[in-house]
């Protein structure tokens, strides 16, 4: 067998541009692993890029392209120089980002040092949900250096990144305040959120004051309103763009604009927390490779709880 099923786009546009077709199975080069993909997930960046924003500018001259960054699967073969992973190992990761990882496919090639062994207590479906959102959450909390006993406000706490931030912050011993709509209040309670704000009925600044840090997964006016609830010297992690300079100065806030990076070290830290039972992904819905368009439409609503996963192999 030398060809595989992939989902590619030949142009940017609506979810109908996602096409199931066949492509040659790639060959791993030096330092690389060929992974048989069991699961990948859909992130908002996939949707934005497919629509022509997000990272589309980077790939517009490379069309057709295969999107997708998350992967959980089994090493099929390894390239020259790979000694720490071998055929048959169960692995997960978010290779290549922000370059193309091409995980909407039955096989992907990834750098070995951007993969880690899959947590033993997770299925491929769960592990495939994790890498991009969990690395984003982990790297953001590391950047702001969140400490035990501090109070963190998390915007969009029920979303892909947010539900990871909440669990990782609780594992660090922080107090967590989270925003979500009414339907997600019980979900956040079960994740261990200490104080839950229904952002549809309660402006967060009417009930939150002097927090040590904010992890913002929404951006726009939610972010500009967040400066007023931070203590002087507090930290703001933004994953949606650069925090406004004049507000940073006015409120004496330490800003962190994060873009997630691939890498094994972060994945290994996450694996330890997952295997210790401190962190678990929530998968709200799964789709097959032939239904990636439906999965994009769902993520595009901006109101998914946890993650949407594409199961590629059974």
Ligand X SMILES: NC(=O)c1ccc[n+]([C@@H]2O[C@H](COP(=O)([O-])OP(=O)(O)OC[C@H]3O[C@@H](n4cnc5c(N)ncnc54)[C@H](OP(=O)(O)O)[C@@H]3O)[C@@H](O)[C@H]2O)c1
List residues binding ligand X (CB under 6 A). Answer: 43-45, 132-133, 136, 155-156, 158-162, 179-181, 184, 199, 217-218, 222, 239-240, 258-260, 299, 302-305
User: Are the C-beta atoms of 169 and 176 separated by less than 8 Å?
Assistant: yes
Q: Which is nearer to ligand X, 118 or 155 (CB)?
A: 155
Question: Cα–Cα–Cα angle for 103, 108, 114, nearest 5°?
Answer: 90
Least distance in angstroms from the C-beta of 300 to ligand X? 9
* Residue nearest ligand X, Cβ-based: 159
The residue (of 38 and 305) whose beta carbon lies closer to ligand X is 305
The Cα–Cα gap between 70 and 67 comes to 10
In the block, residue with structure tokens 């406000």: 153
The dihedral over CA atoms of 210, 161, 111, 313, expressed in degrees to the nearest 10, equals 160
- Closest approach of ligand X to the CB of residue 263, in Å: 13
Nearer to ligand X by Cβ, of 28 and 54: the residue is 54
Please, which contacts does 215-221 make with residues 24 or more away whose CB atoms are closer than 8 Å? 215/137, 215/140, 215/141, 215/144, 215/152, 215/153, 215/154, 215/155, 215/162, 215/165, 215/169, 216/155, 216/240, 217/154, 217/155, 217/156, 217/159, 217/161, 217/162, 217/165, 218/155, 218/156
Task: Identify which of residues 160 and 243 has a Cβ nearer to ligand X in the complex.
Answer: 160
Least separation in angstroms between CB 119 and ligand X = 20
Tell the smallest beta-carbon distance from residue 266 to ligand X (Å). 12
Task: Tell me the closest approach of the beta carbon of residue 215 to ligand X, in angstroms.
Answer: 10
Residue closer to ligand X, measured from CB, 45 or 141: 45
The stretches of the chain forming alpha helices (DSSP H) are: 44-51, 56-59, 124-129, 131-144, 160-171, 185-191, 220-226, 245-250, 264-275, 292-299
Nearer to ligand X, 65 or 132 (CB): 132
Provide the minimum distance between the beta carbon of 61 and ligand X in the complex, in angstroms, as a whole number.
23
């Amino acid at each position: 067998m030398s060809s595989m099923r992939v989902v590619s786009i030949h142009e940017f546009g609506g979810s109908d541009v996602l096409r199931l077709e066949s492509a040659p199975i790639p060959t791993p080069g030096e330092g690389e692993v060929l992974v048989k993909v069991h699961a990948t997930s859909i992130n908002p960046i996939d949707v934005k890029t497919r629509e022509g924003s997000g990272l589309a500018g980077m790939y517009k001259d490379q069309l057709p392209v295969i999107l997708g960054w998350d992967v959980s699967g089994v090493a099929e073969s390894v390239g020259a120089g790979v000694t720490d992973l071998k055929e048959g190992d169960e692995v997960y990761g978010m290779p290549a980002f922000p370059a193309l990882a091409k995980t909407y496919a039955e096989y992907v090639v990834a750098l070995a040092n951007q993969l880690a062994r899959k947590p033993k207590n997770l299925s491929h479906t769960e592990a495939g949900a994790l890498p991009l959102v969990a690395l984003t959450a982990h790297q953001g909390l590391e950047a702001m250096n969140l400490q035990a006993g501090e109070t963190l406000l998390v915007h969009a706490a029920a979303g892909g990144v947010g539900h990871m931030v909440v669990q990782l912050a609780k594992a660090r011993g922080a107090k967590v305040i989270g925003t979500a709509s009414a339907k997600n209040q019980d979900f956040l309670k079960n994740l261990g959120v200490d104080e839950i704000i229904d952002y549809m009925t309660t402006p967060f600044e009417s009930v939150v004051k002097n927090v040590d840090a904010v992890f913002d997964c929404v951006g726009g006016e939610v972010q500009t309103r967040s400066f007023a609830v931070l203590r002087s010297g507090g930290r703001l992690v933004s994953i949606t763009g650069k925090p406004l300079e004049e507000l940073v100065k006015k409120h004496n806030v330490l800003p962190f604009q994060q873009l997630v990076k691939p890498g094994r070290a972060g994945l290994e830290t996450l694996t330890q927390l997952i295997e210790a039972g401190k962190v678990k992904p929530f998968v709200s819905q799964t789709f097959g490779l032939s239904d990636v368009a439906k999965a994009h439409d769902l993520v595009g609503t901006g109101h998914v709880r946890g993650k949407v996963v594409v199961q590629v192999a059974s």
